[in-house]
Structure 1
């Protein structure tokens, strides 16, 4: 059994080396026969016969083995693929020649569980007569397959089934392998070094405090960029006010008669100069920068969008006029009702604003009261926390004493263990010397082997280089004569020479350039027409904007006059209720403050000078913007 097992192993090794993409079967068999010269002739003949049969009928065997892995051999390793091929070849082609006894010996020499699974799958009568026969018939003729391979397998089926049962009994009767006792770990002494005597500690140097960095100037001074922005803003404001002053003076000269106009204009000039000039002359040391006055340019989409908007408004106004001409009703009653509703909504909005203000005041009173109660609770919690921390400190002191005692005991144990260190060191040195000698001998053998392999590799490379140089010395034809005016003559439709093809491509390029120039001219003309239309639309938009501005200024003046009128005091129930609640909470807060002395709230932190100055300039700029808007509205009304 061991004899056949070794033969099968050599066959499997040779099949593992075979690569169908690169190797040729005949050459592979010759190489295998040369490598098997050391074996006996009988064993060599058996191995070569099985190997050649497996290579010849590789497609037939692959059909059965692949199906076995898919249907029955899920748990089998893929490395046993060639083993199943060899067993399938012996059962299909060599069973009559070998005899059943020799075949059973070969089966028993292999792993029993794998052989039971594979033989049960291969000698299944349903599989043999159905899909195995059909698959083999696709490669060979059906009559040859059924006569030479299927029928012999069906004849040997009873003996094989009995062999499978015997193998299963052997597998069940096999005693489990005895468990090896685990090695018990032997305790060894610690390899500890002898501690050196402690040296006198060097006194630590007195730490020297590093000098702190000086406070940067940017902490108390604003940045230069902010000053530059403020300068440009003031310059722009001064230029706008000066321009508006000139416009107002010219309008007043045109509106007032000549006799009275000069006196009125001079008076208004003096008033406006007195109004604006002192604020500008307050800062005589400022340096002004002239900004770039770049006009805002609208794009095409904005012009078209605004033009269509004004066009729709004009159409709506024309439709309204047409309806009025035809006898449609007026919206005066609706406008009166709308004004009443707006006044009502304004009253409700004022009441809601007053409610929000009173709610904020009420929440402030409640927050002050809650803060007073919270301070009292925090004081009680702090007293309790101090008592708890005292208890914890006492427990920590006791725990430290216990830890010091345990550390002293541990030090005594370590000193006792360090006495037997030298004996353990000598044993360890002897073992290490033996290991080093063995490693040196093994490394010498490996170096000899590698030197021999390198010599053989060098010889093989020299032979390959000589062959390559011999091939390079052979003469070779260089270059090829080509006639560009000759037609290739492949028989294709529209065949032409390279010269003709180049001429046609040049003509095609000229026509394309001509078409591109024509298209470019058309695009330029369309752009000119479009730009002219946009200019006309911009003029219309400027006229519409002026008209809309005048109407908006009139509406704003009316709204301002309505808002300036004083309203009646609010009598809303919500406002009265909130006022009552604020008075109650204030009284309760005073009562709480009088009952227990509480530290006064911390004073607000003073703001830096830079923040106050920036806030002052922002308020000044906002006030100037409001005056400028008022002047613009007065100019529009005039």
Structure 2
């Protein structure tokens, strides 16, 4: 089985040596394959099919490949033409048989830059759907081209475009190359002589363990965690009821969005004071010009005037043609337009009623969903109570398992303590071995460092000698002055050779000729500008007339639209189905509010008194805590003041001792 690259190479070699004038296609393929006897059946079939297909559809393939060489492949080699022919044939006629995986392997076996450039040109919609399709239709029937060539290519085009993007990423070095996995080294055990079995040593005496303490009695009692959890649960419930009472009695400050009258008065006074500060240069200020407050027409440029004038002239021509047709006896389309307008109005009314009905149905379904959610919440509350009972039972089972595990761990610790005494001797031997190994490694590293320093010194001496030789060669002076004669030629023996003086004279003559041509162009431009201004004035007059008529038509249209909106509103209010849906929606809202009132938590008188007591206790705790904080801060301040007062005296005493010494 040959590789993908080898198969493409054989096909390209056959296309390169084929001559249609000397031999037929069948004979050439037979003779070519006789010279390659080592091919198996699959490779033989592939080469025969590709060569016969390239010869049969050479007109279709030639359109793509020749266009590529003319447009995008100017720098591509002529030897790559048959490579592009084979790939074009495989994509157009054999992609269904090969599959995308084999096609990718054929493409990746060649140079990435060549493949990306050719496939980007071939699969581009700007080329494939325009001139390539038209050239194929010149050679074959359009139906054959559409069914046999275009449809399979369009079906595979998304996957081909994806592979083209992958090639683009490879060309731009955005995909890292895959690293080949190096096989790991499998260590083999050393062939060491097995030691002889040792004699069984005498067993050591089993040490007698100290008598263990008896199991404490608190392990058989119920743990305090369960009582703490019940107490915390009751406190959380009381806090929730207390918070509920606070929210019902006190309103949030953010609920009242309006400011008070006093706040508004203060804000107005501050605003007036800030504005009064800006009147320092009032007598020098100037009023806003009227041109800034009035609506001025927008000044149009020449392109806009010509474009709008051409549009209005086109509309005038269309109206004249329509009037001429009416004079000749053509039928007026006003009846059809009125009938069409009535139908459109009817369809619009039906559409609006359907939209309103769907909106009401959506609101109705929302209410039903809220009711179902509330019922689900009620069911969840019942499930929570059941789960709490189950968790209590599981907690009891967990405690029993915990006691059993503690007994097992206690026995395991006693066994480990007995085995720790034998590990000390092994640790001391290991430390001695590591110490000797470190000493050997340090000696070897010192020898290697000494050898490296000697090599570096020899290399440095050689570089210094080489630099001295180069500097001595550069110090020799060189004369680089050269005399120039502007009247003499360079002496290259060319037909158009001239001196610099002659060149300057010719350039001055060319400048005078260019100046005369510019004067002629300037006169022609002035005449063209005058004619253009005349045309613009004519177009402006036409535009002003048409705009006046368009404003009148827009006013009439706005009036009709307002009347139409009023009529639509009356039609929606008179629809019976919508009224029924509104009634159903109100019923569902009432049912939802009823369920929400049932799910609300209502405090009892006993819980209310308990929450009041808790509020009072919490306030007392806060006051005591603040008093403690204040007292602690006062103590810290006194201590700091005492430390600061003692610092200068210590400095003075130190200074006095220094003077005495």
Please state which band the TM-score falls in when normalised by the shorter chain. 0.3 to 0.5
TM-score (norm 2): 0.38
